[in-house]
């Protein structure tokens, strides 16, 4: 099991933290990076 880099982990933390009001989703850099590597499975 590999370890998420600090940047990748922060991307996920930011994603969970961020709100829609701040910016359109597609323009967020971290969203793009995550979408490249992961697919979304469930909302809690």
The residues of the shown chain that bind another protein, judged by CB under 8 A, are 1-7, 9-20, 22, 24-26, 30-31, 34-35, 37-44
CB 12 within 8 A of CB 4: yes
Nearest approach in angstroms of CB 39 to another protein is 3
Q: Encoding tokens for residue 27?
A: 């323009």
CB 27 → another protein: shortest distance, Å?
Answer: 11
Give the tokens for residue 35: 């979408």
Is 33 within 8 Å of 9 (Cβ atoms)?
A: no
Q: Shortest approach of another protein to residue 4 CB, angstroms?
A: 5
């Amino acid at each position: 099991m590999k370890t998420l880099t600090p940047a990748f982990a922060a991307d996920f933390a930011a994603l969970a933290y961020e709100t829609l009001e701040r910016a359109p989703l597609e323009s967020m850099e971290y969203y793009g990076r995550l979408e490249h590597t992961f697919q979304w499975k469930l909302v809690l």
